[in-house]
Amino acid sequence: MADFDPTGSDWTDREIDLVVADYFDMLQSELSHQPYNKAERNRALQELIGRSRGSIEFKHQNISAVLQLIGRTWISGYKPRANFQHALINGIERYLDATNDTIIAEEQAVRMLAAETDLFLEPPPDLRPALETDDAPVVRLARKFDAAARDARNRDLGKRGEERILRFEFQRLHDAGQRDLARQVKWVSEEDGDGAGYDILSFNSDGRERLLEVKTTAGYQRTPFYLTENERALSTERPDEFRLVRLYDFLKTPKVFELAPPLEASLVLRPINYSASFA
């Protein structure tokens, strides 16, 4: 399905490359908390490529839709709108290839987060894709620039997310008058290393343990993530205590929800690799 400019002509690769580069430049500014003017940027593109204001804005929303489908963060002011050209997917791929899939501001933003807002535990999403697509180019792009793999590689993102949940749990117990329990909250993955199957030891107000595995993303609520076999096994061994904590939209307005075992009731779990040995 292709979208057309009011002039009636399809977008050229050059025009797409310019609007995609402009979009990612604005996204960099947004993640770095640097001001920018969407209207001025739009006018500059109008002069450069001769497209209308509405056509350029629609194309920016198309880019947001592609980024949403592949589990990436997008510009807040450009709500995702589907019905985009395959040529746009190719343009986004060209940009990510040229930049080595590195949005520098995302890495910087992890270390220079704006003033933290309160976290409120929200309900998890239901078990269905937010946007369904049989579009092979989108699926291929999502696999090539794997959001879950990128989040897993970003150790700083994961660490900051765990730290945020650590403080959240401490404050929750402290506000409930359980100060002794609050002082016992432990950052297990930081103090003891990975391998326990969870990141944070916390407690319910009655003293029962909460074993929290934190998964953090700059993406949206339904961005996929990796789960280790150790984490999955612990969720089945200690279902009453284990909770998977999903922290998303981390670089803008962090939001959080929890998933309780059985995880298969909330997630589609697919094996992605095997352990190989000679015995």
| Percentage of the chain exceeding pLDDT 70 | 89
Annotated domain spans of the chain: 1-107, 153-265
Residues near 121 by beta carbon (within 8 Å), at least 6 away in sequence: 256, 257, 258
Give the chain's mean pLDDT.
88
Measure the CA–CA gap between 180 and 140, rounded to whole angstroms: 51
Here the contacts of 106-110 (C-beta below 8 Å, separation 24 or greater) are 106/31, 106/73, 106/218, 106/251, 107/154, 107/156, 108/31, 108/32, 109/31, 109/32, 109/33, 109/218, 109/251, 110/154, 110/156, 110/157, 110/160, 110/250, 110/251
Mean pLDDT of 217-229: 91
- Summarize pLDDT for 25-48 with one digit per residue, the tens: 999 888 877 899 999 999 999 999
Altogether, the residues listed in the chain come to a count of 279
pTM over 0.75: yes
Q: Write down the architecture of domain 153-265 according to CATH.
A: 3-Layer(aba) Sandwich (3.40)
Residue 82 or residue 129, greater confidence: 82
- How is the chain split among helix, strand and coil, in percent rounded to 5? 45, 10, 45
- Summarize pLDDT for 62-113 with one digit per residue, the tens: 999 999 888 888 998 999 998 888 899 999 999 999 987 665 445 555 555 5
Residues near 155 by beta carbon (within 8 Å), at least 6 away in sequence: none
Measure the CA–CA gap between 155 and 230, rounded to whole angstroms: 18
At 261, give phi and psi (nearest 5°): -60, 155
- Summarize pLDDT for 252-273 with one digit per residue, the tens: 889 999 999 999 999 999 888 7
Measure the CA–CA gap between 3 and 16, rounded to whole angstroms: 12
